[in-house]
Chains A and B, each alone.
Chain A
Amino acid sequence: KNQVEQSPQSLIILEGKNCTLQCNYTVSPFSNLRWYKQDTGRGPVSLTIMTFSENTKSNGRYTATLDADTKQSSLHITASQLSDSASYICVANAGNNRKLIWGLGTSLAVNP
């Protein structure tokens, strides 16, 4: 069964600190993995996308990693800001746009 599991479910950190969110996926076939940021009450916005041949990809203070052998991905946020408070969702593509396997997300709260 195709599935994506994220941890932790929720996380609270202080402004300026770093954090790492985890994603384990069981998807076949595997096309790519994407991280989305979803602000409360808004639609998700894509942060990064990685294929199985890519290990690391950065987007500003966001750095995603992918280990295709262990089927694990992480999203590292550096020097967190209050605006980073959101849900971060891991999505694995199992072949096409109709076969996106969405995780439940990690709810991140950055406190002053």
Chain B
Amino acid sequence: SQTIHQWPATLVQPVGSPLSLECTVEGTSNPNLYWYRQAAGRGLQLLFYSVGIGQISSEVPQNLSASRPQDRQFILSSKKLLLSDSGFYLCAWSWGDTDTQYFGPGTRLTVL
């Protein structure tokens, strides 16, 4: 069966500090991978989308970036965090043309 992992579960970072969130998927190959942010009182916002290694599509311009160094690894990064980067970050995967997305447990990021 397939599983998706995210870490860390929670993170408190000062403004201006760097960020690295990691997501890995097990039990499948060549998944589509997604990074979402869920801010308080707002719906899920798609940040990045990847169909393969090194292939990243950015949906929202911001100070975040994403990378996919391996088939089942997706990393969300920032060089300098802003207060507005606080939120619940979710990684998800889907396979092929199916649109069912399976979400990880999420990372709660608080920028102070």
A82 at the interface (CB under 8 A from B): no
Binary contact readout B21-35 vs A (1 if CB under 8 angstroms, 0 otherwise): 000000000001010
Binds B, one of A13-21, A53-61, A66-74, A97-105: A97-105
A102 touching B44, Cβ below 8 Å = yes
B103 touching A97, Cβ below 8 Å = no
The answer for the CA separation of A102 and B27 in the assembled complex, in Å, is: 27
A-B pairs with beta carbons under 8 Å apart, 25 shown: A4-B43, A31-B99, A34-B99, A41-B88, A42-B105, A42-B106, A43-B92, A43-B104, A43-B105, A44-B90, A44-B103, A46-B101, A49-B100, A89-B43, A89-B44, A93-B99, A97-B34, A97-B99, A97-B101, A100-B99, A102-B44, A102-B45, A103-B43, A104-B41, A105-B43
